[in-house]
Amino acid sequence: MKGIILAGGRGTRLYPNTKVVSKQLLPIYDKPLIYYPLSVLLLARIREILIISTPEDTPDYQELFGDGSHLGIEISYKIQDTPRGLADAFILGEDFIGDDSVCLVLGDNVFYGQYFSQLLSDSQEQMAEGGAVIFGYPVANPREFGVVEFDENNRVLSIEEKPQHPKSSYAVPGLYFYDNEVIRIAKSVKPSARGEIEITAVNNAYLEMDKLKVGLMGRGMAWLDTGSPKGMLKAAQFVQTVQDMQGFYISCIEELAWRKGFITTEQLEKLGTELKMTDYGQYLLRLAEENR
């Protein structure tokens, strides 16, 4: 399975913060926002990753991550000249995806939870049968989100965008698993009234084929909104609180690469040394020292 991070858009809801910098490069406490979706792919043991962004911002991501070899992964890049919808990621990424299945994660989504790795693993196992897996997160205000309705076998019955009368309390976050059919489906989707290739249309195509399932993020999972300055602040405070209380870092991509066996302890130590003047770097060095 391959992974795509969609890090385009103009982030207008965060102006003036995003007038000259990509939203996904803004910090959530001690690391750039894009570290959080990248950590999702690492948790899923996905090592071939495509970052899609704007012509202006792509060089910044290349400067930040390079080819990913320092993390034991392969990162490539694709430019999206103008916003054409989330599903455009599969058209732009056709050559990258090749004959594989793919995980799409939006560049501004933050997930955290003890059982998240298992949920990702279970979802990937379901992909062995083909089809698609989306996720459902319980929210108090489902009218403000896309809402998924499902049966006792987690087969999706309906998806509604900001319904007045929600059929469930589960919102659909920006994380999706698809088989290789997604390329064909995305190409067949007609642009919506706003001129975009909507991810909802792709999901509905799988729903019509009875090949759409939902993975549930229940109690103990956090899905954090970063769509506003207040949301960014709350997410940063959440990360700070958990890290200060537990001593473990959230979405530390170097640690995840090391724990998944993508890099050695010596490589982890080198990465920590490069950042030794920061608490982040000292954390990496402690991990390396404690596991020699």
Q: How far is CA 16 from the centre of its chain?
A: 24
Q: Using an 8 Å Cβ cutoff, are 198 and 87 in contact?
A: yes
Closest CA relative to residue 176, chosen from 252, 236, 249, 109: 109
What pLDDT is stored for residue 260 in this prediction?
Answer: 97
CA distance 215 to 136: 6
Cα 272 to Cα 50, 68, 193, 266, 289: the distances in Å are: 25, 16, 49, 10, 11
Q: 186-234, pLDDT tens digit by residue?
A: 999 988 878 788 899 999 999 999 999 999 998 889 999 898 899 999 9
The pLDDT assigned to 128 comes to 84
Task: Kindly indicate the confidence band of residue 180, based on its pLDDT and cuts at 50, 70 and 90.
Answer: very high
pLDDT at 161: 85
* Crossing angle (nearest 10°) for helices 199-208 and 181-188: 120
Segment 94-100 shows an average pLDDT of: 97
Confidence band (pLDDT; 50, 70, 90) for 290? confident
SS3 category, 132: strand
Instruction: Convert the pLDDT of each residue in 163-179 to its tens digit.
Output: 899 999 999 999 999 99
pLDDT band at 83 (very low <50, low <70, confident <90, very high): confident
Angstrom distance (rounded) from CA 30 to CA 278: 10
Superfamily, domain 2-137+172-261: Spore Coat Polysaccharide Biosynthesis Protein SpsA; Chain A (3.90.550.10)
Single-letter residue type at 238: F
For 15-67, the pLDDT digits (tens) are 888 888 899 999 999 999 999 999 999 999 999 999 999 999 999 999 999 99
Q: Return the residue matching tokens 């962004």.
A: 53
What does residue 13 show for φ and ψ, rounded to 5 degrees? -70, -10
pLDDT of residue 255: 98
CB 136 within 8 A of CB 148: yes
Rg, C-alpha atoms of the chain: 19
Cα 217 from Cα 214, distance rounded (Å): 10
**Which of 101, 103, 46 shows the shortest CA–CA distance to 75?**
46
Q: How far apart are CA 67 and CA 71, in angstroms?
A: 9
Question: pTM for the full model?
Answer: 0.95
The residue with greater pLDDT, 81 or 256, is 256
Asked if residues 52 and 78 have their Cβ atoms less than 8 Å apart, the reply is: yes
Per-residue pLDDT reduced to its tens digit, 106-149:
999 999 998 899 999 999 998 888 999 999 999 999 998 889 99
Domain segments of the chain as ranges: 2-137+172-261, 262-292
